[in-house]
Structure 1
């Protein structure tokens, strides 16, 4: 569900683990909260070309939640947003939910 990416050529993808703390209400009272860790896995898809002649790259970013199989496009990304590109590589940085993107062409 959600807006899935269009057909792309020479895009980059990787999986990431995002750790978050969830506050859940305990059984004793509504004021008794316990904290648990949740680990969400995502497939990250970036860039690529919408044409097979590689005439124009894109810098669009898509996330697929691997638990719910829902696609989304993040509206806020920390760090410098990469330029439009294709033929690049991506990898996760030590399960921090961060991605390193490198290489590729933009013309």
Structure 2
């Protein structure tokens, strides 16, 4: 059986093999980077913490809406940053090319 980190790395590599995804990271819900990368010059510890805070805040803000938060789409100049829960303990953050079908790239 593969170790959890090896399995996570394999999933991240598979995501990156999709042409539209430039960077992807798995982060704990408490903000610790588990594995992955982000664009150059991004401080990974800060990135991980902020991803967890943003997803947690969105889940809290929508918790009484009788709807389930599927993902957060942050539109940047040339890319989109997609955040989504990946279970109770981790989340996925992925930078996706502006021209890509964002949701299809992650499915």
TM-score, length basis structure 2: 0.24
The structure richer in helix per residue is: 2
The structure richer in strand per residue is: 1
Structure with the larger RCO, 1 or 2 (CA within 8 Å, 6+ apart) = 1
Larger Rg: 1
